[in-house]
Amino acid sequence: MTLTDQEFDFLRKLLHQAAGINLTTEKKALVIGRLTRRIESLGLSSYGEYFRLIASNTDPAERQWALDALTTNETYFFREPQHFAYLSEIILPKAPPGESFRVWSAASSSGEEAYSIAMLLSERLGRRPWEIIGTDLSTKVLEKAMRGQYPMERADKIPQPYLHAYCLKGVGDQEGTFLVDPSLRKRVKFQHANLMEPLPKVGLFDVIFLRNVLIYFDPPTKRRVVENLLPFMKPEGYFFSGHSESLSGLVDGLVAVKPAIYRKAA
């Protein structure tokens, strides 16, 4: 099979409409690598035939499989540590003591970000109530997140005290992996969400993390996604983006307080 320019343009429009992602021409080889075997296994004769299938949404499971295959999910524990330092040293000491502190990891991928936040909240808030919601477009990575089990090499960014307190080293046939402690996992909830569409009723949050996602969107889509999230922020709540991303001039209602850290107007 050959992926024609016309077929690739059709996929680019479809992916942008479904997930807001701009698929550049440089990604053509990635599409071929990730979809060819799948298309052949379905007995289809061309990429165009497959793209029309997922565009029709007559098979939602197949459409989701394609989105899982074509979206990028790069993450690791305690990524961009300055954010965790700010959360620990500036935000948490000011948290109202009688209220549950709520954080949304809005593009949680396979869970490393959400569990990093959970370790920090457990350490700093102790018995005070807190809650974390993790959402992602990809159901495949959400399954990994809910398991909370990772290769041992993924632990190298976790501070040693947190690693010993909140992670269980695999033994026997689980050797070479570690598991996030069940007591921590039960306080982190994961669910599917497309940030381009109406979002689930998940309440209001003190902090929303949306990091290293907006780089895949064009300016109108960035604005749409952030505006979708703003109603879920408490007054004077915080919004974290990736350090390679900027929200300056993108939407009203957010004020920059540090690089890649914003606060909602009261």
For residues 246 and 223, is the Cβ–Cβ distance under 8 A?
A: no
Q: Are 179 and 149 in contact (CB under 8 A)?
A: yes
Q: What's the pLDDT tens digit per position in 232-259?
A: 999 999 999 998 888 888 888 899 999 9
Strand order in the sheet with 261-264: 188-192, 130-136, 101-105, 205-209, 233-240, 261-264, 254-258
Q: How confident is the model at residue 218 (pLDDT cuts 50, 70, 90)?
A: confident
In this structure, what DSSP letter does residue 199 have? P
- pTM surpassing 0.85? yes
Closest CA to 178 of 200, 158, 198, 203: 158
Active site residues: 34, 136
Average pLDDT on 198-216 reads 92
Q: Where are the domains of the chain?
A: 5-70, 81-264
For domain 81-264, the CATH class is: alpha beta
Residues in the chain: 266
pLDDT at 226: 94
Nearest to 230 by CA among 104, 133, 82, 116: 104
The answer to whether the CB of 20 falls within 8 A of the CB of 225 is yes
The answer on pLDDT for 266 being more than 80 is no
Quick check: 71 pLDDT over 80? no
Q: Quick one: pLDDT band at residue 68, thresholds 50, 70, 90?
A: confident
CATH architecture of 5-70: Orthogonal Bundle (1.10)
- Dihedral (C-alpha) 192, 198, 203, 208: value to the nearest 10 degrees? 70
Binned at pLDDT 50, 70 and 90, residue 142 comes out as very high
The whole-number pLDDT of residue 67 equals 86
pLDDT for position 126 = 83
In the chain, what percentage of residues exceed pLDDT 90? 68
Backbone φ/ψ region at 228: left (φ over 0), alpha (ψ -120 to 50), beta: alpha
